[in-house]
Amino acid sequence: MKKIISTVLGILFAFTLNYSVANSAAKEVRVAYFLEWPSPNLEDMNKKAYSDALGVPVKWTNFTNGVAMTDAMLAGDIDISYSQGLMPYINAVKAKAPISLVDIAMEYGMGGTTCVTSNKSGITKANASELEGKKVAVPLGTMAEYVFTESMKIVGADRKKMDIIAMDPEEGAAALVSGDVVMACLFGGNSIKSATAVGTRLLTVDEARAGGIMGIDIVSVTNKFMKENPGMVKSFVELTHDANQRYRSGNSDLNAMAKESEMKIADMKDTLSGFKFLTPKETKKSMKSGNLSKFLKGFDTPKGTVTTKFLP
């Protein structure tokens, strides 16, 4: 009996202590990113330039959605999330997650995130109210959900009357192909490609832009990492902007980028054409008074989680 009690107490004690174990000395930096979501800094990732710039090894881990990135950051497994969608970030900050927004990865139109209706269903922008009562696949809690909600407002359909199925983009595309859903909202080049093979975009890129639908992907870091290693955050942001500059001037190594995003070069170029990589100046403006700040205000995001001090 004594032995049992002491064992139980020991386990409880260990459980109480283990929370303090974290990435205290920053012997490596762990970064989250997306596949099928190309960006110029993937070239630097490919050439290990981040490890050189930060002075410690940088470990890149790919995720399927931004919500999972937040989970990993909260669990202490990820320090920096590159190109996390703004929606997952907002949800996380609203849930009081200790993370901060330090940079904008890119702004994009509906090119990279979109809703596709199947051709079989015959539903287009004109008769979109027919979506009501039918099944649509939406990756809830991500930027695609935002695009979905906004698109429905534009085409005048009531999302509450639809059967919304929570699916990641890859599965959503498969469900659209098999005819299980009449519309799938998705992001990522390959998923959109396989979806548009059997369907059409509900709104074209231009229509979406005219409707004011725009996506923003951001760079978020855990507060602990930001406070303890400001130098590394700064180097990370700087190198990212260097890469963006290189891309703007047309000197990026597209092969390396395609390899790291696991896309074909042509598909990648197509996806990239919808992205806008901001200059440091534009980023600052967007964060202070432009698109990003409007977006955050629109969703009642708690203030004080955005910082511009790491921008070059």
| Contact positions vs another protein (CB under 8 A) | 12, 15-19, 24-25, 52-53, 55-56, 67, 91-92, 94-98, 100, 135, 137, 140-141, 160, 163-167, 171, 174-175, 178, 180-181, 223-224, 227-228, 230-231, 234-235, 302-305
CA distance 85 to 295: 12
Nearer to another protein, 92 or 287 (CB): 92
Task: Give the integer Cα–Cα distance in Å for 237 and 249.
Answer: 18
Q: DSSP 3-state helix, strand, coil percentages of the chain (rounded to 5)?
A: 50, 20, 30
The minimum distance between CB 187 and another protein, in angstroms, equals: 15
The answer to whether the beta carbons of residues 126 and 160 sit under 8 Å apart is no
Residue 157: φ, ψ to 5°: -115, 150
DSSP state of 306: B
What is the C-alpha separation between 131 and 265, in angstroms, rounded?
35
Nearest CB to another protein, comparing residues 156 and 303: 303
Report in angstroms how near the CB of residue 228 gets to another protein at its nearest: 5
CB of 205 to another protein, least distance (A): 27
Q: Is 18 exposed, middle or buried (0-12, 13-18, 19+ CB in 10 A)?
A: exposed
Residue 113 vs 235, nearer CB to another protein: 235
Q: Is 1 or 126 the residue whose CB approaches another protein more closely?
A: 1
Measured distance CA(224)–CA(41) in Å, rounded: 24
The least CB distance from residue 26 to another protein, in Å, is: 9
Nearest in space to 23 (alpha carbons), one of 70, 64, 75: 75
Q: How far apart are CB 142 and another protein at their closest, in Å?
A: 8
Nearer to another protein, 93 or 104 (CB): 93
Cα distances (angstroms) measured from residue 52 to each of 13, 135, 186, 187, 200? 41, 49, 35, 31, 44
Cβ proximity to another protein: between 224 and 276 the closer is 224
- Minimum CB separation from another protein for residue 184, in Å? 11
CA separation, residue 42 to residues 34, 124, 229 (Å): 10, 36, 22
Min dist. Cβ of residue 224 to another protein (A): 7
In sequence order, the 6+-apart residues with CB closer than 8 A to the CB of 285 are: none
**Closer CB to another protein, residue 98 or residue 122?**
98
**Residue 270 CB, nearest distance to another protein (Å)?**
26
The residues, any chain, with a CB within 8 Å of residue 186's CB and separated by 6 or more, are: 113, 114, 115, 116, 137, 139, 144, 169, 172, 173, 192, 195
Nearer to another protein, 153 or 234 (CB): 234
- Give whole-number Cα distances, 153 to 58, 128, 137, 201, 205, in Å: 42, 11, 17, 16, 16
